[in-house]
Amino acid sequence: MLIEIIKAIIIGIIEGITEWLPISSTGHMILAEQFIHFNATDEFMEMFRVVIQLGAIMAVVLLYFKKLNPFALSKSKQEKLATWDMWFKVLVGCVPAAILGILFDDWFDAHFYNYQTVAVTLIIYGILFIVVEMRNKGKKAKITNFTELTYTTALIIGVFQILALIPGTSRSGATILGAILLGTSRYVAAEYSFFLSIPVMFGASLLKVVKFGFHFTNTELAILCTGMLVAFVVSVIAIRFLIGFIKKNDFTAFGWYRIVLGAIVLGYFAFIG
């Protein structure tokens, strides 16, 4: 079991880093799974890839607990109403991806969970990040806080999140890119992406666990809990890094990283094939 725990730690580190940076956790997972093979069924691994993200989500809850908590005693009535307003905007943004995710979850997994799709989407969205940042250079953001974010804009950003159902797109990447295109600041785009992930990933994880069933072996339970815990710890670091990074930089570096990774994925599988 020790070897399986070590594997779970490695995957947890990868998940914790890549879930929040707009570089596609799925792309990294596909590469990692070429070298790390768990002693587990395909059904368990399909569930594990999604549920491990709950650890990452809890990092958002921890870091933004006060901002997300509408019942905080330290908040004024106006601040509590603003928090509820923010949550309603998050829920509105979740609707498009939630509907399609429930209806077509298995179909997307069956048709798009492959290295070709991941490599292409990594490269395409890498190019888009670079193009969008070049286009926005010198422009001032129209939306610099959540009170300026309208429900219509929140819904449209949620439509962009649908793109993340295709592996390699990156959920954070799709929402951040969409938000920037709609005029939000990088800071608001990143935070809104974080908050959108909470209901979306809780829902996706619940769906996967229900499909898998609640009958875990001791090894499977150890793998899942270890992966989630490590993803949580690493996510705290990754989120703080990203927020600090975008205060002084744009997303161009992530665009170039995606292009290089996409090329590596294509090159690796072409070589072994």
pLDDT in the model for residue 7: 94
pLDDT in the model for residue 273: 65
Determine the average pLDDT of the residues in 10-17: 94
Residue with tokens 């159902």: 165
For the ranges 74-78, 97-101, 105-109, 235-239, which has the lowest average pLDDT? 105-109
pLDDT level of residue 107 (50, 70, 90 thresholds): confident
For residue 159, give the nearest of 131, 178, 139 by alpha carbon.
178
Whether 114 has a pLDDT exceeding 90, the answer reads no
pLDDT in the model for residue 101: 76
pLDDT in the model for residue 255: 95
Q: Any alpha helices (H) in 137-217, and if so which ranges?
A: 151-162, 171-181, 186-212
How confident is the model over 121-169, as pLDDT tens digits?
999 999 999 999 998 888 889 999 999 999 999 999 999 988 888 888 8
For the ranges 26-35, 43-52, 70-79, 218-227, which has the lowest average pLDDT? 26-35
How confident is the model over 162-219, as pLDDT tens digits?
888 888 888 889 999 999 999 999 999 999 999 998 998 888 888 888 888 888 888 9
pLDDT level of residue 62 (50, 70, 90 thresholds): very high
What residue segments make up the domains of the chain, in order of their start? 2-272
Determine the average pLDDT of the residues in 88-112: 84
Mean pLDDT score of the chain: 90
Q: 56 near 232, Cβ under 8 Å?
A: yes
CB atoms within 10 A of CB 235: 27
Whether 265 has a pLDDT exceeding 90, the answer reads no
Give the whole-number percent of the chain exceeding pLDDT 70.
100
Q: Which long-range contacts (CB under 8 A, 24 or more apart) does 239-246 make?
A: 239/20, 239/59, 239/60, 239/63, 239/194, 240/63, 242/20, 242/21, 242/190, 243/187, 243/190, 243/191, 246/186, 246/187, 246/190
pLDDT level of residue 90 (50, 70, 90 thresholds): very high
